[in-house]
Chains A and B, each alone.
Chain A
Amino acid sequence: MASASWNQETKARLNEKISANINDLGSLARQVIRGSKSNDLLAQAAKNFSSQEPCINHSFDTLKKLDHIKSQLEFQQAAIERSMGNLDEIQDELKTIQR
């Protein structure tokens, strides 16, 4: 016979109590999170980090250019080595011409 005493009034009161409890829990949680200023700190850190993004891009491009330069330098080094060998030949030629 619990249904006899379970009328609309008790239901409404129980609803109120439950909603009040849950609201209080929610405000407690909000206070804990806002009291530790974790949100602000983390947002600031994220903004700082994301502002480094173009810097990183620039560094990446510069590194690619460095790669090009390195290959060009290697090429030039090979050419210079060949020319060094030629120098010896020139010496010999000059000697034979000016005998």
Chain B
Amino acid sequence: MGSDQSSLPAGAPGSTIRSQRDEEIPYTQFSISKPIDGDSPRQSPRIQKHKVQQNKDKESTPKHDIVVVAEGQAPIKDPDPELTKLNTIPVFFPIMRGSLNVPTSSRDLEMLDKLDYRQLLFLCLRYQEHLKQLSEAVAFDQNALCIRIKEIHHTINVLHTALAERQKKYNKYAEQFNRVHETLSVLKKIRLRMEDIGPKMDRLNKLLPPGDQLEPFNMKLQKPQS
């Protein structure tokens, strides 16, 4: 705080400003009571005068003393960050324009001064009702979907059992048809062999003596051939 010596008036012992009147610094009330730098505490006037003379000896150099009349462009420090943040918010009107400091313009007739709580209450109640109806609709649809899912599940089960039964039946039929097919192949073989054996048996029969000849062979299969 004591770094600005030029802020002290010209007559004070610590300031570098010298007016033409201050040849010798008189020990006035001012020079005694003003604390300087820290170099010279408040003491008796005589000692101050001594120190003032010492200061005067130091600064009697031939260089020019610059007298600062007005401070230049000093950087503006940010006094309060919250205040600057508040200032960056854009200006807008509140809901009740009458709550501002009343401008005496012609807007008094339109703007309200008080807010009707009932209307606000109705607004909130309406919103509440709206939410309730929405949620009820959604819940209703979900329940309907649940019921449909159960129905479909039941239907699928029924179908499954019916088709499974039919599949078993058809399995049995297919098995029977398979056996039929095997029977057919056996019969074919029999026919071929019979066609092969038939003329040979006839020939053999003819070669036998007439007393031992068998009857002619036919496929009627009415009684076993003896």
Query: What is A's interface to B at a CB cutoff of 8 Å?
Result: 2-3, 6, 11, 28, 31-33, 35-39, 41-42, 44-46, 48-49, 52, 55-56, 58-59, 62-63, 65-66, 69-70, 72-73, 76-77, 79-80, 83-84, 86-87, 89-90, 93-94, 96-99
Contacts and interface: CB of A to CB of B under 8 A. Distances in A.
Interface string B110-151: 000000000000001001111110111011001101100110
B184 interface: yes
B39 interface: no
B139 A41 contact: yes
Interface stretch (B1-9, B21-29, B100-108, B174-182): B174-182
B160 A65 contact: yes
Contacts of A3: 79-80, 83
B135 A37 contact: yes
Nearest to A33: B131
A69 B219 contact: no
A90 B179 CA distance: 12
Interface residues of B, number: 50
Interface of B: 79-80, 82-83, 124, 127-132, 134-136, 138-139, 142-143, 145-146, 149-150, 152-153, 156-157, 159-160, 163-164, 166-167, 170-171, 173-174, 177-178, 180-181, 183-184, 187-188, 190-191, 194, 219-221
Contacts of B164: 69
Given A80-B173, A83-B178, A94 B187 contact: yes
A66 B177 contact: no
Given A32-B131, A62-B156, A79-B174, A45 B167 contact: no
B168 to A, nearest CB: 10
A28 B121 CA distance: 10
